Amino acid sequence: MVSDFFGPDHCHIIDADFSSHPFDAANFLLKLLRDAGHEDGLVVDIGCGSGVLAEVITQAGYSVLGIDISASMIDLARHRVPRAVFRCESVMETCLPTAVAVSATGEALNFVGGLHADRAAILGLLTRIAASLLPGGIFLCDVTLPGILGSTHVKHRWHEREGRAMYVGSHEDIISEMLSRQIATWRQVDGALWRRSDERHLLRLYPLDWLAESVASMGLSVSILDDYPHQDSAREPMQGRAVLTGISSRAGAALLKIGNQRCGARRLRTSRSACDGSRPYVATRESAAASG
């Protein structure tokens, strides 16, 4: 039977085996915050998951409000970061307080759009995010893009570790721009019996230009990366996704500085074109290999 959304066993596996991306996202956000001159303040983490980003940001001296619709994720987050505040609710139904940064990592915007919202509703959310940012504040998200599964539009993936395993069958509907994932997890409970749980996730896919233009039209300078900067060479690169940063003009110079740094195997070559919200956004990315 297909059970709940981000239930306990799925959350356990995500937390145990897939925490390197939010960890890298957190360190990237910290760098953006410091370069923009924000030494403290509130960071709002939308779709905060098990609190990996919240832990890094809190340890660095910021306050964190994490918002997530999954009770299992919120339980893990509260356990991991007792000093942060977590709300178990949909971001579509909650107020966003004024903040130095808002993050929505780990495809959070795709999930929000899949559950609740068409593009117009996501525009409403982006407007609320932009309005909640202090001058020089930072918006950071990563999103899965249309075409992620290539020409077959289908992918099967198996993951296993001691005492746990997960199958993910993904299918992209290119007409509706939706990605569905059938997820089965097996977890050994009490050291003996295996428990199976099933979930179905729906993600709304956003064309990168549409998202970047939307964020830029809200007065934020937009920059795009292929992945978060990271040190771990064994870490699986993000594929079919993009990291988008929106920042007010006061911090634009800092963002450009970061933009000149290498990002894993990739290099950022964008920013100026989107700094002026009145002009159309043009994404310009290239790989380090291509650019030498």
193: tokens are 């019996």
Q: Is 101 in the site for ligand SAM (CB under 6 A)?
A: no
31-70 residues near ligand SAM, rule: CB under 6 A: 47-49, 67-70
The minimum distance between CB 212 and ligand SAM, in angstroms, equals: 20
For the bound state, the minimum distance from the C-beta of residue 286 to ligand SAM, rounded and expressed in Å, comes to: 26
- Binding letters toward ligand SAM, positions 102-131, x by CB under 6 A: ---xxxx--xx--xx---------------
Nearest-approach distance from CB 1 to ligand SAM, in angstroms: 20
Q: How many Å apart are CA 251 and CA 193, to the nearest integer?
A: 53
The Cα–Cα gap between 285 and 32 comes to: 19
Alpha helix positions (H), 96-233 = 108-115, 119-132, 208-217
The one among 7, 8, 22, 264 contacting ligand SAM by CB under 6 A = 22
**Count of residues interacting with ligand SAM (CB under 6 A):** 23
Q: Which of 172, 173, 143 is nearest to 283 (CA)?
A: 143
Please say whether the beta carbons of 46 and 113 come within 8 A. no
For ligand SAM, the closer of residues 47 and 229 by Cβ is 47
- Amino acid occupying residue 143: V
Residue from 3, 20, 63, 90 touching ligand SAM (CB under 6 A): that is 90
Tell me which stretch binds ligand SAM (CB under 6 A): 21-29, 148-156, 225-233, 234-242.
21-29
Is residue 6 close enough to count as binding ligand SAM by CB under 6 A? Answer: yes
Closest approach, Cβ 180 to ligand SAM, in A, equals: 15
For tokens 């896919």, the residue is 205
**What is the spatial distance between Cα 185 and Cα 168, in angstroms, rounded to a whole number?**
9
- Concatenating the DSSP letter of every residue in 131-199 gives HHEEEEEEEEEEEE-TTTTGGGTEEEEEEEETTEEEEEEEEEETTTTEEEEEEEEEEE-TTS-EEEEEE
Name the site residues for ligand SAM (rule: CB under 6 A): 6, 21-22, 25, 47-49, 67-70, 73, 90-92, 105-108, 111-112, 115-116
